[in-house]
Every structure is written in structure tokens, then in C-alpha cells.
């Protein structure tokens, strides 16, 4: 539980600065520091267990089905990183308080920092690979916020975007790699993965998993060729750079290498990919660190170079090399964080980071100079400092690498070259900035920074010295326990001594130091050499590529989404044709084993009328009214077809809907153009006819193929259980209100929503109302013919009676809520037509929206009612009652549900039609005078 607190505390701490943002800065800084300080305390408390070889773990199932659990571990490796993240994080909090100017929001920076800290802690403590990945992506997101902190600067925005794109893409590769590993192992828990290490390494998917995981690590740790994002992340405020590029963010990549070392390392493939990438990055970063004129740029490229060094060490596949890698992680974090902070002080006090202008600052800030000198010397690998220890171990390990065969000597040679360059740029950082003449037109006159701004640097430099002078005392325990988790086994005996006697590594160190000084002395020749190459700004190249991608996707989107419904329909139809067509191609023969049933003259006539009416609808579509009449013939024929094939419920529904649809479409047509102008080119018509024919052929073939094959229906169950389970004899209705009641509830809800949407669409609709028909004839003056008015009025009670009858018998004989609702609606609509809106509304004063809503509510409550009795949603119960006159009647809760259906249908239908009809009255609110 306390483990969870280590991660949770900084997360909660992210809220603290936001809530305290109006406090004075000093107090804000102290308050923010509380959460990470507590977390650090807990971590230190656990460290004792870790040193004695235990691994505290925390496990909370999260989405266990997917293998994702909230599992945390605190082994040596986690411990090392937690100390770095929280320790340096605390120093950064103190430093930021002085660095950030008054205009910038300190609270926002703190909040982002804490968020980022949480994500980093999550990565290093996750005991589940998927969980680790979640935190991994969180670091990408929160570092995006941090790098883009000065969002008003275009550089910062672009740099943040680039960092997010590169590390985010790498994160996706990592996820894929983790999934492959999970596929091999069958679990994402780290212990399971660790136990299956041999299985993974010998699996045929190992290379895939390895490359994907390494892509994640290399993008994050800015390894060649993904190094380009890191220098541009320097547009972040310097405290952020100091945090991101020393102890965190970029260290997440090498952390991943360390974490997966016992699982993935040990193969030749690992050696070749990891060590060669590391070597290339080491040299590339070192060279450009020497060339950069920007103070932070020098540090950025030196960071790349040192990350390459660590990667190279992990790539060596040797136990001692892994130990050296871990040691260098600690050392690099300490000296690089202090160097960044020193660079921040210089920038803060001088107003520029240009090395060509910064000279001789020693006289203005001697204290800072000394601190920077020590840190730089550590970076260069000068004896008595921590950088020297890891560099010696690095040189020693490079001598042992044998896998390059006859060319293996290249590795120590190139390692020494890297060492030479590293000395040269460290020297440059000190000599060019703090000595070497006088400053040239600085924006500000430099002086020493506030006392406590230097404190974080002093702490880190002290650690550099302590580790460098007393390594066994200060760092050995931590290093051994971290190595134990990286090696997943016994740690080789090693001595952390400054003096190992005269040997080859010492000679290499000597060459590096002397060579570095020489290279620095010759630097101007190197600069002019470098100037012959055209400098390419990675930011511009990246942005240009992004722009190109965006253009490409815009172009392809435009060709799909051009605003033409016809185009969309085309794609939709082609897709449908493709998939169904393929399905039909696979079938050996169209007809199945079933004999066709014979047809009689009546069926033939019906089919011919339906077909002709359908064709007529299409052919006469430009004369819209005629087309509509043709359509109504199809609808009626469909209803007859339902009746012919023993589906009375469907026939009734179709008939009622047909009436309502036709009234609706006619009303709509009144407001729309009466004719469709001739627009389509012959070629377009040809295309559409072909497409439609193809679609028709596919539908017909499919239908025929299914009809001539025997069906395995689940309906027997419904037939058998309708009476015993649903208390009704009409199985269709029982299915609707009972077996599949939940579907019906959804459907009437949709109906209600459609009605509401239409009500809203009609609100304040301005429409052009034609005053005459197409040929210029005025509308009939007899708006409400008397015969119709009389008949409709007489019919209304009769129709209502019929609908009640249909409703009540629906459970046992054809009928039910849907049909009854439609019959009621049709009767009321007839009244509207015959008597007009004004008259009808005077007599029928009920609003339709609440009726529809009440319907959905009743149906829903009926369903929920079964909860009261401890049954699942929509369980129906029924009983038999004997009523006088009528006789025995069966009452089921399903009837109540059906009442809901009935009310919804009535309400929604009238909401649609009555509101549309209202538009035709002279009293509509937005009448236009024509």
C-alpha cells in the first residue's frame, strides 16, 4: 500500500500548486515540495528491504481479463530510479522558483512537473508491462506539456509536437512489442515474463518483439536515428530540461533497456542492434556537442552522446557492462542536472545562451563557475569524480567486446574517440563560457544568482564528489541491488575503486584527456570544417514532412468527403457489393437443396404489380407526386405480401405505416419542389443504372440462395415458451414485449427521439409556401370538405374502439401496441386533415411530446418494476382474471409494457405529423407573405 503512495502522492501533489497558485512563490514552492518529499521518505524507508534482497510488491487487479493489473514493484532498479526522480525533482522545484520570471505561471509549471513525475515513477515501479506502457505514454503526454510550457513561442510548440510525435510513435511500437511478449508468455506480470525469459528468446517472434521494444526505447532515449527531437525539446524552460534530460524522460528509454535486459538481452541480435546504435549515437552526439554555439545545445547533444554510451554498455551483453551502465545512469543524472541548472543560471543572469558572446564569466560569478567546473570535469571523466568511475568501467568493457570478430578492436578505439570528444566539449563548456576573454555585448550585466538558486547545484556537485571519492561507501549498496534486478541473478564481484593500477583502461582515459585538450585547442579548424556542410534544421525538415502528410491526408479526405451524398452512396454501395459479392462467389451454386414451392396466378400478379410499381417509382421520379403514388402501390403490395405469407401483424403494421408515410411525404412535398429538374448526364444515369442493377442482382441472388436452403431457426423456443413463459399466444407480440422486450424498449426510445428531433427541426423553420400548383392552378377553396369532416368525426370513436380492441387482444391474437398506436394516430390525423389544425387542436388539447415521453417512461418503469420483486430487468408476470361480460382475461405486466409502446407510437407519430401540418396553417409563427 505504501508503494502505491509513492506514485499517488505526486499525482495528488499535481493539484496542490493549482489550488495554491495565489500564494507567494516561496510558499507555493514549499507546499509543492511536500508530496514528493513524503514519497521520497517512503521510498527511502523501503530501501532497507531492497538492500537486503527483498522486492516489495503491490497488487490490485484492474482489468484482469486483459492482463492489466495495478501492480507495483520496488526492486533495486526501481529504487535507484525513484531516488533519482524524486531527489532531482525536489531540487528542480527549488530551482524553478528562482528561475521562472514573474510573468510565467509557476503553479502551472509545478503542476505539469508533478504530473510528469507521477508518470515516471509509474514506469519505473510498474510490475506489469501493460501498466508500464500506460505510464510510458503518460510521460510522452506530460513532457509535451512541459516542453510546450511557453506555448506562445512557435519554437516551443513545434519542439513539443515533435517530441510527442517521435516518442508517441515509439510508444505505440513498444505497445506492440509488449503485446507480442504477452502473446508468447501468456501474462504481462513482470515476474511471469522474467520466468519465461528463455522461452521468449528462443521463440520465433523474438526478433519482432525485440525490434518493437527497442524502437520504443530508442525513440524515448533519443538514440540515432531518432535523436533529432531532443535538441528541439530545449525550447522548454531550463529547469524542465534539467529534469527531462538528466534523470527522467530520456532515461526512461535506458530504463526500459535495463528492465528488459534479463528478458531480451543475451542474444547476438541484441548485441548488434543495441551496441551499434549506442556507438553511433555516442559519436554523433559528441561531435555535434562540440560544434553547437548554444549553451543548452551543447548540453543537449552531450546528453544524446551519454545516452548512447549507456545504450552501448547495455548492448555488450556482459554483466559488468550492465553494472557500468547503471552507474553511468546515476552519474550522468547528477552531473547533467547540475550542468543544465548552471546553464540556466548563465542564461538567467546574462540574457543569452550564445557561447560566442559568453566569455569570461568567472569574474562575475566565481561561485557558479566553480560548481560548473566540477560538474563538467565529471562529465569529461576526470579522476576523483563520479564520471571517471563509469568511464573507466566503460573503457574496460569495450576491450572485452568480441562479437565484431577481427574488427572488435574498433570498439575500444571508437570508445576512446568518444572520450576525446567528450573531454573537448566539457572543456569548451567551461573555458569558452567562464574564461577566454571578456563577454561581448551581453543583454544584461551578469552577477551571482540568488543564494538558494545555487543550492540544488551544490547538492548535486557534492554527490558527484562523494561518489567519485568514496564510491564503495556511498553508492555500492544501491548499485548492487539495482544490478541484481537487471541481471536477475547473482551480481559479479566488483570493486568500485579509483585506482586499479596501470592498465589499458587507464591508458585510454589518459589518451582521452590529452586528446580532448588537443582537439579543443584545434577547435577552430574543426568549426570551419563543419561549416562546409549545410546545416539542416531538424525542426524544419520535420515540420515540412508533417505538412506534406497533412496535405496528403487532406487531399484523400477531400476525394472521399466532398459534400456529395451521391459520392458517399457510391462508396457505400461499392463496399457492400464487394463484400457480399465475394460471399456469393465462394458459394458453389446459387440454388440450395430445397425444392421451390409452386406459385399461383395471384402471386404472379402481385409480384408483377409490385415490380412495375417499383420501376415506375424510379422512372417517374422527376414527377414527384406520381412517383409518390407509385411508391404507395409498392407499400400496399408489401402489406399484401405479408398477409399472404401468414404474417397478419406485419400486414396490419405495414398498412397503417403506409398511410402515415404517404400523408407525411405528401405534406413534405408541398414545401419542396414539385418536380426534379433534369440534371444527371447520360453517363451518370448509365453508371447509376449499372450500379443499381448490380445491387439488385446481388440482393436477389442472396435472397434466393437463402430461401432455397433449410433454416435452423431459434423460433421453436419462442413457440414453445410463449404461453408458459410470456403468458401470450401471439408469439410475435410475446417476442416484442417479453422475450426481446429490451430491444423494443430501445426501439420506442429511438422513435421518441426521432419525434423530438423533428419537433426541433421544425422549430422556426422558414419555408416557401407555394400558392398554386405546378400549372398555376390555385388550391381548392374548399379546404375542409364537409363529407370528409363528417365521416372522420364519426370514424374517430370507432377507430379508437378498434385500436383498444387490437391493443387488448394483441397478446393472444394479431395486434398489439404498435398496431393499435398506429391506428389511433391515423384516426386523429384524419381528423386533422378533415377539420384543419385549429379545429382539431381546440378539441384535442393534449400535447404529444409528454405522451411519447410517458410511453417510454411506462415501458421503462415496467421493466424496472421486476427489480422490485428481485427479478432481472423486464421479467414479465401474468395471471388470469375473470371479468363480468367479457369473460376470462389474461393480464400480464407485458400489457403495461405494451401500453408504453402504444403511447410512444401515438405520441411520436402525431408529434411528427401534427407539427409538420401546423406549418401549413395561416397562423404559423414565421409565415412569409408571398
Partner 1 sequence: MEALYATTTGLLAACGVYLTLRGRTFPVVVGLTLLSYAVNLFLFSMGGLAMHGNPAVVGAGSPAADPLPQALVLTAIVIGFAMTAFVVILAMRARGDLGSDHVNGNRLDDSKEKEDTK
Choose which of 19, 26, 540, 750 interacts with partner 1 (CB under 8 A).
Answer: 750
Q: Is the dihedral of CA 846, 849, 850, 856 positive or negative?
A: positive
Exposed / middle / buried, residue 825 (Cβ in 10 Å: 0-12, 13-18, 19+): buried
Pairing of strands 68-73, 57-63: antiparallel
Cβ nearer to partner 1, comparing 746 with 797: 746
CA distances from 235 to 141, 429, 553 (A): 16, 19, 29
Cβ nearer to partner 1, comparing 12 with 750: 750
Is residue 631 a contact residue for partner 1 (CB under 8 A)? yes
Pull the grid cell for residue 729. 399466444
Smallest gap from residue 696 Cβ to partner 1 (A): 3
Cβ nearer to partner 1, comparing 341 with 630: 630
Smallest gap from residue 899 Cβ to partner 1 (A): 16
Binding mask 289-328 for partner 1 (x = CB under 8 A): ----------------------------------------
Binding window for partner 1 (CB under 8 A); candidates: 170-178, 179-187, 293-301, 645-653: 645-653
Choose which of 127, 349, 432, 649 interacts with partner 1 (CB under 8 A).
Answer: 649
- Cα torsion 734, 736, 739, 740 to 10°: value is 180
CA distances from 391 to 468, 510, 569 (A): 12, 12, 67
581-600 residues in contact with partner 1 (CB under 8 A) are 594, 596-599
Is residue 706 a contact residue for partner 1 (CB under 8 A)? yes
Smallest gap from residue 594 Cβ to partner 1 (A): 8
893-922 residues in contact with partner 1 (CB under 8 A) are 905, 908-909, 912, 916
142-181 residues in contact with partner 1 (CB under 8 A) are none
Choose which of 751, 823, 903, 906 interacts with partner 1 (CB under 8 A).
Answer: 751
Binding mask 204-243 for partner 1 (x = CB under 8 A): ----------------------------------------
Cβ nearer to partner 1, comparing 54 with 757: 757
Backbone dihedral angles phi then psi of residue 532, each to the nearest 5 degrees? -70, -20
Choose which of 544, 607, 686, 889 interacts with partner 1 (CB under 8 A).
Answer: 607
902 with 821: CB under 8 angstroms?
Answer: yes
CB count in 10 Å sphere of residue 665:
17
Binding window for partner 1 (CB under 8 A); candidates: 44-52, 517-525, 640-648, 860-868: 640-648
855 with 748: CB under 8 angstroms?
Answer: yes
In the numeric block, the cell 565529471 is attached to 378
Smallest gap from residue 592 Cβ to partner 1 (A): 9
Residues 6+ apart with CB under 8 A from 828: 796, 840, 844, 906, 910
Cβ nearer to partner 1, comparing 428 with 811: 811
350 with 363: CB under 8 angstroms?
Answer: no
Cβ nearer to partner 1, comparing 31 with 603: 603
Is residue 675 a contact residue for partner 1 (CB under 8 A)? yes
Q: Can you give 455-484 as a three-state secondary structure string? A: HHHHHHHHHHHHHHHCHHHHCHHHHHHHHH
Smallest gap from residue 857 Cβ to partner 1 (A): 18
Site size for partner 1, by CB under 8 A?
117
In the numeric block, the cell 409563427 is attached to 925
335 with 378: CB under 8 angstroms?
Answer: yes
C-alpha to C-alpha distance for 617 and 611, rounded to whole angstroms: 10
Is residue 695 a contact residue for partner 1 (CB under 8 A)? yes
Pull the grid cell for residue 827. 384516426
Mark residue 160 as left, alpha or beta (left: phi above 0; alpha: psi -120 to 50; beta: remaining).
alpha
405-444 residues in contact with partner 1 (CB under 8 A) are none
List, as one string, the DSSP characters of 164-210: HHHHHHHHHHHHHHHHHHHHHHS--BHHHHHHTHHHHHHSTTHHHHH
Smallest gap from residue 659 Cβ to partner 1 (A): 10
Cβ nearer to partner 1, comparing 26 with 692: 692
349-378 residues in contact with partner 1 (CB under 8 A) are none
Backbone dihedral angles phi then psi of residue 772, each to the nearest 5 degrees? -150, 170
Binding window for partner 1 (CB under 8 A); candidates: 340-348, 374-382, 677-685, 855-863: 677-685
Pull the grid cell for residue 189. 506480470
Is residue 661 a contact residue for partner 1 (CB under 8 A)? yes
| Alpha helix stretches (DSSP H) within 75-153 | 76-99, 106-125, 129-147
47 with 104: CB under 8 angstroms?
Answer: no
- Largest pairwise CA distance in the chain: 122
In the numeric block, the cell 415521453 is attached to 853
Smallest gap from residue 798 Cβ to partner 1 (A): 23
Smallest gap from residue 922 Cβ to partner 1 (A): 18
Cβ nearer to partner 1, comparing 305 with 627: 627
Is residue 617 a contact residue for partner 1 (CB under 8 A)? yes
Choose which of 650, 834, 874, 899 interacts with partner 1 (CB under 8 A).
Answer: 650
Q: What's the gap between Cα 401 and its chain centre?
A: 42
List, as one string, the DSSP characters of 324-344: HHHHHHHHHHHHHHHHHHHHH
Is residue 890 a contact residue for partner 1 (CB under 8 A)? no
C-alpha to C-alpha distance for 460 and 94, rounded to whole angstroms: 13
How many C-alpha atoms does 708 have within 13 Å on its Cβ side?
14
Smallest gap from residue 728 Cβ to partner 1 (A): 8
Choose which of 97, 328, 348, 624 interacts with partner 1 (CB under 8 A).
Answer: 624
Choose which of 260, 657, 858, 859 interacts with partner 1 (CB under 8 A).
Answer: 657
Smallest gap from residue 551 Cβ to partner 1 (A): 21
Choose which of 20, 626, 691, 804 interacts with partner 1 (CB under 8 A).
Answer: 691
Smallest gap from residue 707 Cβ to partner 1 (A): 4
Is residue 610 a contact residue for partner 1 (CB under 8 A)? yes
Q: Which is nearest to 318 in space by CA: 214, 397, 410? A: 397
252 with 220: CB under 8 angstroms?
Answer: yes
Choose which of 352, 730, 803, 893 interacts with partner 1 (CB under 8 A).
Answer: 730
707-726 residues in contact with partner 1 (CB under 8 A) are 707-708, 711, 713-715, 718-719, 722-723
Is residue 641 a contact residue for partner 1 (CB under 8 A)? yes
20-59 residues in contact with partner 1 (CB under 8 A) are none
Q: What's the gap between Cα 590 and its chain centre?
A: 45
524-583 residues in contact with partner 1 (CB under 8 A) are 562-567, 569-570, 573
List, as one string, the DSSP characters of 217-242: HHHHTT-TTSTTHHHHGGGS-HHHHH
CB count in 10 Å sphere of residue 289:
26
Choose which of 23, 269, 469, 603 interacts with partner 1 (CB under 8 A).
Answer: 603
768-827 residues in contact with partner 1 (CB under 8 A) are 768, 770, 774, 812-814, 818, 822
C-alpha to C-alpha distance for 899 and 893, rounded to whole angstroms: 10
Cβ nearer to partner 1, comparing 407 with 714: 714
Smallest gap from residue 676 Cβ to partner 1 (A): 5
Binding window for partner 1 (CB under 8 A); candidates: 24-32, 88-96, 484-492, 634-642: 634-642
Smallest gap from residue 716 Cβ to partner 1 (A): 9
CB count in 10 Å sphere of residue 102:
7
Binding window for partner 1 (CB under 8 A); candidates: 125-133, 314-322, 428-436, 733-741: 733-741
Cβ nearer to partner 1, comparing 313 with 660: 660
Cβ nearer to partner 1, comparing 64 with 711: 711
Amino acid at each position: 500500500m505504501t508503494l502505491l503512495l509513492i506514485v499517488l502522492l505526486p499525482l495528488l501533489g499535481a493539484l496542490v500548486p493549482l489550488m495554491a497558485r495565489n500564494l507567494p512563490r516561496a510558499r507555493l514552492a514549499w507546499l509543492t515540495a511536500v508530496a514528493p518529499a513524503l514519497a521520497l521518505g517512503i521510498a527511502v524507508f523501503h530501501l532497507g528491504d531492497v538492500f537486503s534482497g527483498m522486492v516489495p510488491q503491490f497488487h490490485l487487479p484492474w482489468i484482469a481479463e486483459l492482463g492489466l493489473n495495478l501492480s507495483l514493484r520496488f526492486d533495486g532498479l526501481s529504487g535507484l530510479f525513484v531516488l533519482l526522480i524524486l531527489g532531482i525533482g525536489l531540487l528542480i522545484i527549488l530551482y524553478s522558483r528562482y528561475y521562472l520570471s514573474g510573468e510565467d505561471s509557476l503553479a502551472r509549471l509545478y503542476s505539469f512537473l508533478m504530473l510528469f513525475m507521477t508518470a515516471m515513477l509509474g514506469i519505473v515501479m510498474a510490475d506489469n508491462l501493460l501498466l508500464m506502457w500506460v505510464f510510458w505514454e503518460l510521460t510522452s503526454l506530460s513532457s509535451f506539456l512541459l516542453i510546450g510550457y511557453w506555448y506562445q513561442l512557435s519554437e516551443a510548440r513545434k519542439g513539443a509536437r515533435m517530441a510527442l510525435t517521435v516518442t508517441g510513435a515509439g510508444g505505440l511500437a513498444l505497445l506492440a512489442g509488449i503485446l507480442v511478449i504477452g502473446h508468447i508468455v501468456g501474462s504481462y506480470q513482470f515476474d511471469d515474463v522474467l520466468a519465461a525469459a528463455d522461452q521468449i528468446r528462443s521463440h520465433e517472434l523474438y526478433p519482432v518483439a525485440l525490434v518493437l521494444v527497442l524502437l520504443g526505447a530508442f525513440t524515448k532515449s533519443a538514440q540515432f536515428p531518432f535523436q533529432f527531437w531532443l535538441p528541439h525539446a530545449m525550447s522548454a524552460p531550463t529547469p524542465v530540461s534539467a529534469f527531462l534530460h538528466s534523470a527522467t524522460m530520456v532515461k526512461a528509454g535506458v530504463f526500459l533497456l535495463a528492465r528488459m535486459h534479463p528478458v531480451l538481452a543475451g542474444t547476438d541480435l541484441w548485441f548488434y542492434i543495441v551496441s551499434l546504435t549506442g556507438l553511433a549515437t555516442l559519436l554523433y552526439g559528441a561531435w555535434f556537442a562540440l560544434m553547437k554555439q548554444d549553451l543548452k545545445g551543447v548540453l543537449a547533444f552531450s546528453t544524446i552522446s551519454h545516452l548512447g554510451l549507456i545504450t552501448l554498455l547495455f548492448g555488450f551483453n556482459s554483466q559488468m557492462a550492465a553494472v557500468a551502465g547503471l552507474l553511468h545512469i546515476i552519474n550522468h543524472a547528477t552531473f547533467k542536472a547540475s550542468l543544465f541548472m548552471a546553464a540556466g543560471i548563465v542564461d538567467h543572469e546574462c540574457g543569452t545562451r550564445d557561447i560566442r558572446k559568453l566569455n569570461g564569466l568567472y569574474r562575475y560569478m566565481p561561485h557558479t563557475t566553480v560548481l560548473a567546473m566540477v560538474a563538467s570535469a565529471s562529465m569529461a571523466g576526470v579522476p576523483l569524480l563520479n564520471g571517471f568511475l563509469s568511464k573507466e568501467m566503460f573503457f574496460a568493457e569495450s576491450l572485452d567486446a568480441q562479437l565484431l570478430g577481427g574488427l572488435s578492436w574498433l570498439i575500444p578505439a571508437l570508445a576512446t574517440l568518444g572520450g576525446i570528444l567528450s573531454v573537448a566539449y566539457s572543456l569548451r563548456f567551461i573555458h569558452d563560457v567562464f574564461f577566454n576573454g571578456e563577454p561581448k555585448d551581453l543583454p544584461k550585466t551578469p552577477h551571482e544568482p540568488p543564494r538558494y538558486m545555487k543550492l540544488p547545484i551544490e547538492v548535486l556537485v557534492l554527490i558527484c564528489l562523494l561518489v567519485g571519492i568514496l564510491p564503495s561507501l556511498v553508492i555500492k549498496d544501491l548499485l548492487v541491488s539495482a544490478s541484481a534486478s537487471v541481471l536477475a541473478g547473482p551480481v559479479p564481484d566488483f570493486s568500485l575503486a579509483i585506482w586499479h593500477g596501470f592498465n589499458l583502461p587507464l591508458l585510454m582515459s589518459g589518451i582521452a584527456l590529452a586528446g580532448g585538450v588537443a582537439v579543443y585547442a584545434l577547435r577552430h579548424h574543426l568549426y570551419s570544417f563543419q561549416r562546409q556542410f549545410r546545416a539542416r534544421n531538424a525542426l524544419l525538415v520535420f515540420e515540412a514532412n508533417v505538412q506534406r502528410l497533412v496535405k496528403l491526408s487532406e487531399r484523400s479526405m477531400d476525394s472521399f468527403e466532398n459534400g456529395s451524398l451521391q459520392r458517399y452512396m457510391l462508396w457505400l454501395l461499392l463496399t457492400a457489393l464487394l463484400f457480399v459479392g465475394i460471399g456469393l462467389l465462394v458459394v458453389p451454386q446459387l440454388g440450395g437443396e430445397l425444392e421451390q414451392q409452386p406459385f399461383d396466378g395471384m402471386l404472379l400478379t402481385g409480384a408483377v404489380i409490385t415490380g412495375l410499381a417499383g420501376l415506375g417509382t424510379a422512372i417517374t421520379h422527376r414527377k414527384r407526386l406520381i412517383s409518390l403514388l407509385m411508391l404507395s402501390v409498392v407499400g400496399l403490395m408489401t402489406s399484401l405480401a405479408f398477409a399472404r405469407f401468414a404474417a397478419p401483424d406485419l400486414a396490419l403494421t405495414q398498412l397503417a405505416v403506409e398511410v402515415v408515410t404517404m400523408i407525411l411525404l405528401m405534406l413534405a412535398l408541398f414545401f419542396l419542389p414539385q418536380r426534379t429538374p433534369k440534371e444527371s448526364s447520360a453517363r451518370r444515369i448509365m453508371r447509376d443504372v449499372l450500379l443499381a442493377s448490380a445491387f439488385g442482382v446481388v440482393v436477389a441472388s442472396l435472397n434466393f440462395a437463402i430461401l432455397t436452403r433449410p433454416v435452423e431457426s431459434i423460433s421453436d423456443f419462442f413457440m414453445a415458451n410463449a404461453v408458459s413463459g410470456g403468458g401470450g399466444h401471439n408469439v410475435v407480440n410475446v417476442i416484442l414485449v417479453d422475450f426481446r422486450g429490451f430491444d423494443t424498449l430501445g426501439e420506442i426510445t429511438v422513435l421518441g427521439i426521432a419525434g423530438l428531433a423533428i419537433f426541433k427541426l421544425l422549430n422556426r423553420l422558414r419555408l416557401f409556401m407555394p400558392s398554386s400548383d405546378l400549372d398555376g392552378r390555385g388550391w381548392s377553396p374548399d379546404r375542409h370538405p364537409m363529407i370528409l369532416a363528417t365521416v372522420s368525426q364519426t370514424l374517430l370513436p370507432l377507430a379508437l374502439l378498434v385500436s383498444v380492441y387490437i391493443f387488448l387482444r394483441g397478446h393472444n391474437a394479431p395486434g398489439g401496441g404498435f398496431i393499435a398506436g398506429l391506428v389511433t394516430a391515423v384516426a386523429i390525423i384524419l381528423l386533422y386533415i378533415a377539420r384543419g389544425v385549429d379545429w382539431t387542436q381546440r378539441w384535442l388539447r393534449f400535447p404529444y411530446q409528454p405522451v411519447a415521453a410517458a410511453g417510454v417512461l411506462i415501458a421503462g418503469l415496467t421493466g424496472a418494476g421486476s427489480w422490485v420483486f428481485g427479478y432481472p430487468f423486464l421479467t414479465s408476470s401474468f395471471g388470469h382474471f375473470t371479468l363480468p361480460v367479457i369473460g376470462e382475461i389474461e393480464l400480464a405486466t407485458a400489457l403495461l409494457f405494451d401500453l408504453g409502446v402504444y403511447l410512444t407510437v401515438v405520441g411520436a407519430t402525431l408529434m411528427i405529423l401534427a407539427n409538420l401540418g401546423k406549418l401549413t396553417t395561416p397562423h404559423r409563427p414565421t409565415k412569409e407573405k408571398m
